[in-house]
């Protein structure tokens, strides 16, 4: 790691959704250990996401700026993260967060010139107003995207991007772009982003960003204590024998899908851990009117019947810990990019059930192009046939599947990329150096 003569001060502005927030904070950790001083802007209910970084870094180098969450008529009171809402609420969240522009400008206006940040490392989702803040103070605005270059190239290459068009324009107009991928995985698409969309080469590939190692409650609390989950995995007699099922922070299966998956798990006979997401709050509703969405979708009696074979975790699950355990062999996933990288680092076979947004592009990359994952379903309304899915689940814990072999080769390249001398390590060094240039 090169010695940086001038230590940059970086203002980090993450998007409040765990799939965006967590890798953004993992990136923040990498910047901190390279000598930067960092201030992270969050709203009050998101402050706990910063606890791992608070425990690892001194208050002289890691600081927080907590601003009130702006009210919005379509966002229930007390909701400050997108995973608490259906995805359809995304435009409302964009609108609410854009109202942080004025209080942030006010805060920066009252800082001595020497205390102003050298760069703002903001979420691409927030670039329309973060760029304006940066321009007002002649600060570099660098965007972070927690997805891969293939998805960026595909999305930005479409003619009709809807309200995402502004995000692409503002991201491409920023000083630079940071992507949670590694060059050796998709060099062709990284170069496409540089030449076709950013019009410069200030694109840094810094993945796979490893989680900050500070406790198992990464982003939430598990309904089953992480120690109990770990002990259950330790008790499994065979390596690669457990299927982990999790669909991220934004996806909740309906009753019919859940019943089919439960039936498949019973028929397969495999050991499993199943993370079931909490229900989202309805937009334009008060808490008193919102009780119906809290209905438990797990079939009655299922947990009792499979108690010797599996665990059901409601709400947040210690996913990183689970995927890195030697007992876990496969992962039934929506194929969100953060989940792909966690599964890859954990060395587990990926069973793809893409649901929305970039999940489909990730499936094209991992299943069709790289042949390093297996497609088992597609779309939000897909209901799997339980006998067929049971066979896939039973097969997925075998060691000799070609998709597992290919994924392990990709994993090896990714782990080399983040070590000293690797491409991602080099880009992280370059990013920090560029911030104070």
Please provide the DSSP assignment of 177-195 as one string. Answer: EEESS-GGG-HHHHHHIII
Torsions phi, psi for 271 (to 5 deg): -75, 150
**What integer pLDDT is reported at residue 294 of this predicted model?**
52
For residue 428 the two structure tokens come to 């992280």
**What integer pLDDT is reported at residue 146 of this predicted model?**
94
Torsions phi, psi for 171 (to 5 deg): -65, -45
Of all residues in the chain, what percent are helix, strand and coil, respectively (each to 5)?
Answer: 45, 15, 40
Residues 232, 168: Cα–Cα separation, whole Å: 45
Go through the domains of the chain in sequence order and give each one's CATH number: 9-212+420-436 (3.40.50.2000), 226-281+296-399 (3.40.50.2000)
Give burial (CB, 10 Å; 0-12/13-18/19+) of 159: exposed
Residues 429, 218: Cα–Cα separation, whole Å: 26
Q: In the chain, which residues have pLDDT < 70?
A: 1-5, 161-163, 213-222, 250, 278-296
- Angle at which helix 423-435 crosses helix 402-417, to 10 degrees, equals 40
For residue 105, cis peptide bond before it (omega within 30 degrees of 0): no
DSSP 233-260: HHT-SSTT-EEEEE-TTT----HHHHHH
**What integer pLDDT is reported at residue 346 of this predicted model?**
92
Catalytic entry in 9, 24, 72, 118: 118
**What integer pLDDT is reported at residue 384 of this predicted model?**
81
Asked whether 85 and 75 are in contact (CB, 8 A), the reply is yes
DSSP 208-222: SPPPP-S-S-SSS-B
20 labelled catalytic: yes
358 labelled catalytic: no
Q: Where are the beta strands (DSSP E) in 265-314?
A: 271-276, 310-314
Sign (positive/negative) of CA torsion 234, 236, 242, 248? negative
**Closest by Cα among 399, 403, 393, 354 to 272:** 393
- Angle at which helix 149-156 crosses helix 164-173, to 10 degrees, equals 120
Asked whether 266 and 306 are in contact (CB, 8 A), the reply is yes
Residues 165, 189: Cα–Cα separation, whole Å: 20
DSSP 110-147: TS-GGGS-SEEEEEGGGHHHHHHHHHHTT-EEEEEESS
**What integer pLDDT is reported at residue 134 of this predicted model?**
97
Q: Where would I find the H helices in 269-401? A: 302-305, 319-323, 337-346, 359-363, 386-395
Torsions phi, psi for 349 (to 5 deg): -70, 135
Q: How far apart are the first and last CA of the chain?
A: 17
């Amino acid at each position: 790691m090169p010695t940086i003569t001038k230590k940059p001060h970086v203002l980090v502005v993450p998007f409040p959704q765990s799939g965006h927030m967590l890798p953004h904070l993992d990136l923040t950790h990498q910047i901190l250990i390279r000598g930067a001083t960092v201030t992270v802007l969050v709203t009050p209910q998101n402050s706990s996401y910063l606890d791992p970084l608070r425990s690892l870094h001194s208050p002289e180098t890691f600081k927080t700026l907590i601003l009130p969450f702006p009210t919005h008529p379509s966002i229930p009171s007390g909701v400050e993260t997108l995973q608490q809402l259906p995805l359809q609420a995304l435009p409302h969240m964009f609108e609410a967060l854009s109202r942080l522009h004025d209080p942030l400008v006010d805060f920066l206006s009252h800082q001595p010139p020497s205390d102003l940040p050298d760069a703002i490392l903001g979420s691409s989702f927030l670039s329309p107003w973060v760029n304006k803040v940066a321009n007002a103070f002649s600060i570099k605005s660098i965007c972070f995207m927690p997805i891969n270059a293939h998805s960026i190239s595909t999305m930005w290459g479409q003619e009709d991007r809807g309200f995402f068009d502004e995000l692409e324009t503002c991201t491409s107009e920023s000083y630079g772009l940071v992507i949670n991928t590694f060059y050796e995985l998709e060099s062709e698409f990284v170069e496409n982003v540089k030449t076709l969309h950013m019009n410069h080469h200030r694109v840094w590939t810094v993945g796979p960003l490893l989680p900050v190692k500070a406790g198992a409650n990464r982003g939430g609390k598990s309904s089953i204590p992480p120690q109990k989950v770990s002990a259950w995995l330790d008790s499994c007699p065979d390596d690669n024998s457990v299927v982990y099922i999790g669909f991220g922070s934004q996806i909740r299966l309906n009753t019919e899908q859940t019943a089919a998956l439960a039936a498949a798990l019973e028929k397969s006979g495999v050991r499993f851990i199943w993370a079931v997401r909490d229900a989202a709050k309805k937009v334009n509703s008060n808490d008193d009117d919102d009780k119906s969405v809290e209905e438990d979708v797990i079939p009655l009696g299922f947990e009792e019947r499979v108690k010797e074979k599996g665990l059901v975790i409601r709400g947040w699950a210690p996913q990183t810990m689970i995927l890195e355990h030697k007992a876990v062999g496969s992962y039934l996933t929506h194929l969100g990019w953060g989940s792909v990288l966690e599964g890859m680092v954990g060395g587990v076979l990926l069973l793809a059930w893409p649901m929305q947004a970039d999940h489909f592009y990730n499936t094209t990359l991992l299943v069709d192009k790289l042949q390093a994952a297996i497609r088992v379903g597609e779309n939000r309304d897909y209901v799997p046939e339980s006998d067929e899915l049971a066979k896939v689940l039973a097969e997925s814990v075998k060691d000799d599947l070609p998709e597992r072999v290919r994924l392990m080769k990709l994993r090896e390249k990714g782990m080399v990329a983040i070590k000293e001398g690797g491409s991602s390590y080099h880009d992280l060094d370059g990013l920090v150096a560029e911030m104070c240039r």
